[in-house]
Amino acid sequence: MSHSENMSPSESENKKSAYDFWERLYVPELVKGLAITTGHFLRNLWSEHDKNPEVLDRKSRMVTVEYPEQCVPYPLGYRGIHRLVPREDGKPRCVACYMCATACPSQCIYIEAGEYPYDDEEAASRVIEKYPAVFVIDELRCIVCGLCVEACPKDAIRMDHAEPMGSIARQHTLPALERKPFIYAKERLLAGAPAVHESDPWQHRKASEEPVGIHKEAHTRIGESH
């Protein structure tokens, strides 16, 4: 059986030519194509260029973002750099449980745990026993997978849109010419906005009937009320 007999009518039509007669004359289609590029050329030559960094909102057709001077703002969900979330009093939410360091596939998190003194005046510190005395992230080793954020039981490490850190360029690891600036220490990681949840143990202190220091954080659940 020959090949042509086997083809359906639409297939054989398709086989005959992909273009109709007008298109195969070529010159008219060629001029049409030239008209399109020339239209773009003239419009871009003559009209003002909108420099809005949000390219999709631009009034003109130019899509160039001139990088060092202009930056495309990252989307809200962009995860490019770690931060340690502080409590309202500025201390880290981190309880030095090592889960992030354990989850990290590139082993870029280094933690040394410290213990809050039991007779500290501040109740908030007393309900949490441990804190990171040293918390270092080597951003050069980090593969930005976000597993540390998922592993954290305390919402203490995030890779989020950190508004108080200010400029847009700070949402990713900043470039540098040596290794040292890529080793982020605790102070630098804590620079972002604090976060407070209803389920945080120190939030329940005042209304609670329990004596201070007995209410352990392990008893609290997200959304639990007293």
Partner 1 sequence: MRRLRITVAFATIFASLFGGMAAAYALGGWLESTWFKGASALSNLLMLMLVFVMVFATLLVMAERKWSALMQNRTGPNRARINLPGLRSRSLAGLPYLIADTVKMLAKESFTPKAANRFFYALAPILAFGPVFTLFAVIPAGPTIPVLGHEVAMVVANPNFGLLYIFALASLAVFGAALAGWASNNKFSLLGAIRACAQMISYEIALGLSLVGLMMAFASIQLAGPAGIMEQQSQYLWSAQLGGFDVGIPAWGILLQPVGFLLFFAAAFAETKRPPFDMTECESEIIGYFVEYSGMRFGMFMIAEFVEIIVFSGIITTLFLGGYHLPFGGEWFAKLAFFKEHPWVYGATMGMVFWLKVVVVTYIQMNIRWTFVRFRYDQIQKLGWKILIPLGIVNIFVTGALLLWDKNSLGLLGLIGLFEMAFILILMLSSPKSSLYKPLKAEPLPSHH
Burial of 172 (0-12, 13-18, 19+ CB in 10 A): middle
Kindly state whether residue 57 participates in binding partner 1, applying the rule CB under 8 A: no
Kindly state whether residue 32 participates in binding partner 1, applying the rule CB under 8 A: yes
Q: Which is nearer to partner 1, 41 or 78 (CB)?
A: 41
Q: Which of 9, 64, 175, 187 binds partner 1 (CB under 8 A)?
A: 64
Label the pairing between strands 83-84 and 109-115. Answer: unpaired
Q: Which of 9, 36, 206, 207 binds partner 1 (CB under 8 A)?
A: 36
E strands present in the chain: 83-84, 109-115, 130-138, 157-158, 183-184
Minimum Å gap between C-beta 53 and partner 1 is 14
Question: Considering only residues 6-25, where is the footprint of partner 1 by CB under 8 A?
Answer: 6-7, 11, 14-15, 18-20, 22-23, 25
Burial of 52 (0-12, 13-18, 19+ CB in 10 A): middle
Q: Which is nearer to partner 1, 53 or 80 (CB)?
A: 53
Any idea which residue has 């631009």 for tokens? Answer: 58
| Separation CA 94–CA 196 (nearest Å) | 13
E strands present in 19-174: 83-84, 109-115, 130-138, 157-158
Q: Which is nearer to partner 1, 47 or 107 (CB)?
A: 47
Return the DSSP state at 175. P
Backbone region of residue 47 per phi and psi (left: phi > 0; alpha: psi in -120 to 50; beta: other values): beta
Q: Which amino acid is at 18?
A: A
Region binding partner 1 by CB under 8 A among candidate stretches 44-52, 152-160, 165-173, 181-189: 44-52
Kindly state whether residue 70 participates in binding partner 1, applying the rule CB under 8 A: no
Kindly state whether residue 222 participates in binding partner 1, applying the rule CB under 8 A: no
Minimum Å gap between C-beta 24 and partner 1 is 10
Q: Which of 9, 27, 77, 175 binds partner 1 (CB under 8 A)?
A: 27
Return the DSSP state at 86. B
Question: Considering only residues 124-183, where is the footprint of partner 1 by CB under 8 A?
Answer: none
Q: Which is nearer to partner 1, 14 or 102 (CB)?
A: 14
Any idea which residue has 């949490």 for tokens? Answer: 128
Residues binding partner 1 (CB under 8 A)? 1, 3, 6-7, 11, 14-15, 18-20, 22-23, 25, 27-34, 36-38, 40-41, 44-49, 61-64, 66
